[in-house]
Structure 1
Amino acid sequence: MTGFLPRERSAAALTDETFLPRRRDAPRPFVPPESRLRALPLAIERLDSADAFESVSTPASDLVANGRAARFLVDRRDADAPVVRFVNGNFTRDGRVPTSAQSHYYFGVETFGVPESLGDFNTATYFTNDKRYIAGTVRTYALDGASDPVYGVQFYPQDVIREELVVEAVGLVKTQIGIAGARFAFVSTGSQQTTATVGPQLAALGVDDLSIDRILGGIRYLPLNAGEAWGHLRIFPTDGDDLAATDIPVFDELPLDLSVVAGVLTRAVQDTNSHVNLKSKERRTPNAVFRDASPDHPRLAPFAGQPVHLVVGSDDFTLEPTTDDVIAAKLAERMQRPLLRLQWEAETVIRSYDELAAGTARQTRAHSARYGSKAANLGFLAHRAVLGRVGDAGSPSEARGYDLVPRGFAVPLQAYRDFIEHPPNTDVRALIDAFVADEQAGLLSPRDRARRTEEIQDGIMAASFPPGALEAVRAKLDEVLPGVKKVKVRSSANAEDVPDFDGAGLHDSYSADTTKRDRPIGPCLVEVDDDADDGEVKRKVKPKSVGCAIKGVYASLWNKRAVEERSFARIDQTTVAMGLAIVPAYDTDSEVAANTVIVTRVLNTQDVYGYSLSVQLGNNLVTNPDPGTYSEVTVAGFYSDDEPISLTITRFAKPARDTAERTDAVLPRDRMLDLIDIAKRVERAYCAATPGYYRWCSEVAGATDKKTSLDLELKILESGHVVCKQVREFGGR
């Protein structure tokens, strides 16, 4: 999966200019003199031992972080006498690793005298089955606990290599590897890389035929976020309220409401796009899957309840003893940063998303200072330059014949502040002030924090609205969503989507029935909805009125986990506020067929071009999946719009606890490509509206070196319509 250079501009970022063409638009790089085109230490003819492979390979940086990878290139211009050479990825010249040791193309120029330009080379190598060159990687995998690795022969995910040419290529490469007793496999990294008719030929070569899904299923250790942590090891804890930022829990299955901890190990596979995993990446806390985890495992049991130092590396994790003093000191280091005061602007006007989008896309995004990012970004998505409305000529919504973004409106942050400061709510304000003072002084235990946040939430649910507040929301409902009975009242806090803190999954959204009467004064209740068939809401308000839903969202600003995450991020809790994003219920017109999360980079990789997609059947959420379920994970491999998109399923979905894992995709290919097209459109517009997001917005979708990416949530309805729920910026990798 490495070594592919989609553009000469990308090549220029790889290494020093002395090893590249002087002109960025040069049709091909400088060709070394004939004397340099012979076999060099850069180019290796054979690998006859594991040590030889080790010496030319580099640590893998694709979907599976452990293992090593060595590139190869086959010169097939004379099909009767093809030549295989391995790339010495550790080769240096003048103390530097030249581009020729980092990319197939420049390796081919230096080793084989490749005459084509980069674009022509790509076409002749990756995007045709009548290839002049075959470029790939030999990649090691530790499967099923075996001590010896599997040597996987694989190709760039967009490569259209298939059937007989797979056999030819694998056979050529295997012939040049003489590692005694080595097990070989062809690993398909794209759904188009088929072997349906050549299974017997591969078997005759002594080569297994494996998918990425099978590879991931056989790996006993999978790092999701590398790093180190100091804390007390808690093996299979039973009560999450007892966990603190100085704990390292080992779970059978990752809980949905995990608070801040120092690091995490799980026995079960995690959803890579779940809020919990994305938060681990964002706060840079180590997280890994260890499939043999158990209370009596010899690597874990001796450390149960003890202070430990955990290191999650690419190939394995380590645990070693430490002390309580060291744990306290390490936490103190993280908490010594100054408090971040959130800046927001007073605004009293309730505005529809279309009103927020009346200016430029950049101006629309700036409304986050008054309405919170979730609401402002719904306006951004609805902007005529992004996804638009069905009446906006040339927009994606017009092309599809329906609005991709729900209509609705935003309630400003100031409305929350007015609610809390309403004179009859003095007791609630006093509870918040006292709690924040103790929280920011570090005086609260996890159980104290849980008790006092519950007191605040009960107070908010019993508090009263300022005069006219509910009437203003009702009036906007009648104006923007006339006749709509079922709505969602969603959180849009100012403590969401700030630099290095997206706040995903920390607050609650509630369903409301617009025909239920609101009482300006009187208590509301929040209940667990065990029988709910709505994957969006696990809890419900009673009565199910708009006013109670608003109170429920306001109260969720003080969810225990939200407070802990903000404290860990050093956000000044005195400056937090809650805006609201109100939309029709997503299943108003049609039942929900699937949920999707798209992250606009390939997670857990450094140099794989494309997007990560998680898809789940029905209305079970990807971000907060029901226990015992997990989503389909797909890598969409692409760089530019004029190149084919590969879809590689790395894990099939398990939609329900009592059902087996699926063996086919949740959505058909054309639907997946449509979702990718939507995400590309959003990211390019976001880049243009957000200074500093990426330097070349036209190429941002395929960029691997962008500092942040987008996290886009969508629903697919039974009618075939797509609903874009939200978009936020995500800082993890």
Structure 2
Amino acid sequence: MTGFLARTTSASSPIAMADDVVSDIAPSLSFLRAPTSAPGSLPLAVAEIDSADTFDAVSTDAGDLVASGRAAKFLIDRRDPSALSPRFVNGNFLRDGVVPDEAKFHYPFGRVTFRIPESLDMFNAVTYFTLDKRYIAGTLRTYHLDGSQDPVYGLQFYPQDLIRERAVVEAVGAIKTRVGIGGARFAFVPTASQQTTAMVTGELAALGIEVLPIDRILGAIQYLPLNLGEAWGYLRVFPSDNNALTPSDIPVFDELPLDLSVVAGVLTRAVQDTNSHVNLKSKERRTPNAVLRNAGPDNPRLAPFADQPVHLVVGRDDFTLDRTTPEIIAAKLAERMGRPLIRLEWLPETELRSYDEIAAGTTREARGSAARYGSKAANLGFLAHRGVLGRVADVGSPSAERGYELVPRGFAVPLQAYRDFIEHPPNADVRSMIEAFVAAEQTGELSPQQRTERVDDIRSAIMAASFPPGALERVRSKLDEVLPDVEKVKVRSSANAEDIPDFDGAGLHDSYSANTTKRDRPMGPCLVEEDDADDGDVKRKVKPKSVGCAIKGVYASLWNKRAVEERSFARIDQDSVAMGLAIVPAYDAESDVAANAVVVTRVLNTDGVYGYSVSAQQGNNLVTNPNPGTYSEITIAAFISDDEPTSLTVTRFAKPTADAPERTEPVLPSERMLELVDLAKQVERAYCRATPGYYPDCDFAPAANDKDTALDLEVKVLEDGHLVYKQVREFGGR
């Protein structure tokens, strides 16, 4: 699948390859020559693969929907259907010491090998986006299933490819006859829902080819790398106390905990949600993360290293563990923690502003208001802008087209209000506790237990503190202005230490529901209690459930243990952090929540597929913080441009509840999934234009897989069919 070539304006791209260059190259290629026993002598185009060694010689590390395995591209010329001439691409072919584009992509390979006359756009049209194909482009790649050392050779096509039924039989049959690997197991791997074989299963079976969908392959793979990398630390196999873990530990879990502290790396036995806060955070901080389905205290590869200093490498096809020393672990951590502190700058602001007020100027100005209100609140204003998702009154906007508001109404409370709260003279003890803690934390000498005790004390003190005169009254006045007659609201965090470059802060802070009719106590502290009700979005609740207590709860969450640890690991100056607020109506005020979805505007874990990653979960169980024993559906939406079809590939079906089996059908209909993708494209293009340096070509940004960062959008799908966009943030992982 990695041979698909998108449109590009680069002068060095294959689309600009001159005919005389092709003529110079082609005569030197003896591509009809059969493979030799010396892999280094293989040409660019190989007529057949006669052994596993030959496959290894022409294949490269796979870069598609499954991170492990090797892949060799192939191209079939169908201009004369009576004389098919498939050729394999030698992905390791060198010219002048480098791998040229014709060894990477189907189109330049076809220009050189078959002298195809089409432009890139025409080639894509007659190869991928039609049933009447002039060429067939695909990949032969390996999968190791159920722990077997012998691979399955999967024949597959790009997710957008419209190939189906008889064309599949023709293509995989032609390729299989050119593969002479004794005893090899072959399978057709459909990578999108339109690649059907229902009418030709008998013919495929007669050819010795089974059909294995991607979700079945992923379910049978014992090792799944989620974030490649290496780490030095102490291996903790199924630790009994997660709160005791440190950045020098590499824990092995049965199931990934949602409140995981900063650690050097992670292995889990259970499948992880790739779009969960914890996995996205692992990618952003570049700590290795993988699934090992037989992980546990008795695993023979793990048991000898339990509680020992180790060097972990999470690779594409496997992981390695080697012994190291405490001195090396300490040196590696010191290297990371020895970087200069990053001080976060923000601007004083006294006004509470609605998202519509934030959206009144340009999209760039809306994004810039993050310096006063924090990125979460500012980005809600950005989403509400008439040039992004807009309002129903904004003619031509997505909200106007649908007849309802895609972005909740509400308002932002500035960062300065938090600082005024902390510096309010009656709260002098709170400020003193924070100052003393920050000084101690930045020495790097606090133990996990000491850190826990001190931040617990800070949060308790904040919950008992008092508001400056008029502060709470201004919030209530803005509620009456912006959300009149709204009884249930959500007070969400909008810290200056979240949703910023290279640090999204996802899941570090708490949100709280509040009832606007409840008055705050004149005396006595607010309390935070565990919420036994499974409402999916708020894991804790404040008591009383008043606006003031909800605000205090969010302010206090700036000093959650995980938030502090993540900031320290990112070298953020703890003395420069502040908490803004994003206040919105309760999401289920108009209708119950039917599903939650997260769209990341890149295909995670690969550079070979263009498109987005979409996760969805039934009901109000979150994708970002799933309930124990559950996991979300993962779908790859592959596309290149708006005038070509988007394919949807479910790589894992959802498990909505711990005591129920995995679903066998998607959570959302394909029309709704495509709507989420189309809206995310509009948001990303607008974000690109409002954010200098995001990507050079904003029209092409949605399909670009070389962009430095992507967007992470959270959406609620209501029972009445409405979509509610909770937030958009920039995400730096891959």
CA drift at 1:30: 5.1
Tell me what 1:621 maps to. Answer: 622
Tell me what 2:223 maps to. Answer: 221
**Structure 1, 495-504 or 150-159: larger mean CA deviation:** 495-504
1:6 maps to 2:15: no
Q: Which amino acid aligns with 1:638?
A: F
Structure 2 Cα separation of the partners of residues 157 and 521 of structure 1: 61
Q: Secondary structure at the match of 2:212?
A: strand
Structure 2 Cα separation of the partners of residues 696 and 39 of structure 1: 37
Correspondence for 1:119 among 117, 121, 124: 121
Tell me what 2:697 maps to. Answer: 696
Structure 2: give runs of 5+ residues left out of the alignment: 33-42
CA drift at 1:9: 2.6
**Structure 1, 564-573 or 198-207: larger mean CA deviation:** 198-207
Correspondence for 2:70 among 63, 68, 71: 68
Q: Secondary structure at the match of 2:730?
A: strand
1:494 maps to 2:478: no
| Contact 1:37/1:113 (<8 A) preserved | no
CA drift at 1:239: 1.5
Question: Counterparts in 2 of 1:96-495, with a 5 A limit?
Answer: 96-495=98-497
Q: Secondary structure at the match of 1:294?
A: coil
| Contact 2:15/2:120 (<8 A) preserved | no
CA drift at 1:21: 2.7
| Contact 1:524/1:548 (<8 A) preserved | yes
Q: Secondary structure at the match of 1:698?
A: coil
CA drift at 1:519: 3.3
Tell me what 1:730 maps to. Answer: 731
Q: Which amino acid aligns with 1:479?
A: E
Structure 2 Cα separation of the partners of residues 30 and 189 of structure 1: 34
TM-score norm. by structure 2 comes to 0.97
**Structure 1, 231-240 or 694-703: larger mean CA deviation:** 231-240
Structure 2 Cα separation of the partners of residues 591 and 421 of structure 1: 40
1:39 maps to 2:31: yes
- Note the alpha carbon deviations across 1:710-732, whole angstroms, 9 max, x for none: 00000000000000000000000
Tell me what 1:78 maps to. Answer: 80
Q: Secondary structure at the match of 1:404?
A: coil
Q: Which amino acid aligns with 1:525?
A: L
CA drift at 1:533: 3.3
Structure 1 Cα separation of the partners of residues 162 and 345 of structure 2: 51
Structure 2 Cα separation of the partners of residues 701 and 427 of structure 1: 49
Structure 2 Cα separation of the partners of residues 705 and 255 of structure 1: 31
Structure 2 Cα separation of the partners of residues 560 and 410 of structure 1: 25
Structure 1 Cα separation of the partners of residues 21 and 91 of structure 2: 21
Tell me what 1:524 maps to. Answer: 526
Q: Secondary structure at the match of 2:313?
A: strand
Q: Which amino acid aligns with 1:309?
A: H
Tell me what 1:657 maps to. Answer: 658
Structure 1 Cα separation of the partners of residues 692 and 712 of structure 2: 18
Structure 1 Cα separation of the partners of residues 64 and 561 of structure 2: 36
In structure 2, the CA distance between the partners of 1:55 and 1:468, relative to structure 1 (3 Å rule), is same
1:566 maps to 2:567: yes
- Note the alpha carbon deviations across 1:381-438, whole angstroms, 9 max, x for none: 0001100000001110001111100000000000000000111111111111111110
Tell me what 1:21 maps to. Answer: 16
In structure 2, the CA distance between the partners of 1:378 and 1:31, relative to structure 1 (3 Å rule), is same
CA drift at 1:636: 0.2
Structure 2 Cα separation of the partners of residues 613 and 73 of structure 1: 30
Q: Which amino acid aligns with 2:134?
A: R
Structure 2 Cα separation of the partners of residues 164 and 703 of structure 1: 33
Q: Which amino acid aligns with 2:693?
A: G
Q: Which amino acid aligns with 2:286?
A: R
Structure 2 Cα separation of the partners of residues 13 and 723 of structure 1: 43
Structure 2 Cα separation of the partners of residues 599 and 643 of structure 1: 20
Q: Secondary structure at the match of 1:32?
A: helix
TM-score norm. by structure 1 comes to 0.97
Structure 2 Cα separation of the partners of residues 520 and 59 of structure 1: 65
CA drift at 1:514: 0.3
Q: Secondary structure at the match of 2:75?
A: strand
Structure 1 Cα separation of the partners of residues 344 and 16 of structure 2: 47
| Contact 2:593/2:717 (<8 A) preserved | yes
Q: Secondary structure at the match of 1:83?
A: coil
Q: Secondary structure at the match of 1:134?
A: strand
| Contact 2:29/2:44 (<8 A) preserved | no
Q: Secondary structure at the match of 2:674?
A: helix
The percentage of aligned residue pairs carrying the same residue is 74
Tell me what 2:38 maps to. Answer: none
Q: Secondary structure at the match of 2:542?
A: strand
CA drift at 1:6: 2.3
Q: Which amino acid aligns with 2:711?
A: L
1:717 maps to 2:709: no
Structure 1 Cα separation of the partners of residues 510 and 664 of structure 2: 33
Structure 2 Cα separation of the partners of residues 4 and 21 of structure 1: 16
Structure 2 Cα separation of the partners of residues 95 and 232 of structure 1: 41
- Note the alpha carbon deviations across 1:423-471, whole angstroms, 9 max, x for none: 1111111111111110001121001111110000000000000010010
CA drift at 1:36: 5.2
Structure 1 Cα separation of the partners of residues 205 and 618 of structure 2: 35
CA drift at 1:116: 1.1
Q: Which amino acid aligns with 1:124?
A: V
Q: Secondary structure at the match of 2:595?
A: strand
Q: Secondary structure at the match of 1:79?
A: coil
Structure 1 Cα separation of the partners of residues 163 and 16 of structure 2: 30
| Contact 1:524/1:542 (<8 A) preserved | yes
| Contact 1:716/1:723 (<8 A) preserved | yes
CA drift at 1:283: 0.4
**Structure 1, 1-10 or 126-135: larger mean CA deviation:** 1-10
| Contact 1:612/1:635 (<8 A) preserved | yes
Q: Secondary structure at the match of 2:474?
A: helix
Structure 2 Cα separation of the partners of residues 81 and 351 of structure 1: 69
Tell me what 1:676 maps to. Answer: 677
* Residues matched between the structures, number: 723
Structure 2 Cα separation of the partners of residues 604 and 13 of structure 1: 26
Q: Secondary structure at the match of 1:249?
A: strand
Structure 2 Cα separation of the partners of residues 622 and 13 of structure 1: 41
| Contact 1:654/1:660 (<8 A) preserved | yes
CA drift at 1:208: 1.1
Structure 2 Cα separation of the partners of residues 81 and 211 of structure 1: 30
CA drift at 1:39: 2.5
CA drift at 1:31: 3.8
Structure 1: give runs of 5+ residues left out of the alignment: none
Tell me what 2:596 maps to. Answer: 595
- Note the alpha carbon deviations across 1:31-73, whole angstroms, 9 max, x for none: 4167457627111001010000000011111221111100000
Q: Which amino acid aligns with 2:640?
A: Y
Tell me what 2:39 maps to. Answer: none
Q: Secondary structure at the match of 1:602?
A: coil
Tell me what 2:577 maps to. Answer: 576
Q: Secondary structure at the match of 2:716?
A: strand
| Contact 2:415/2:579 (<8 A) preserved | yes
Q: Secondary structure at the match of 1:260?
A: coil
Q: Secondary structure at the match of 1:415?
A: helix
Structure 1 Cα separation of the partners of residues 326 and 698 of structure 2: 48
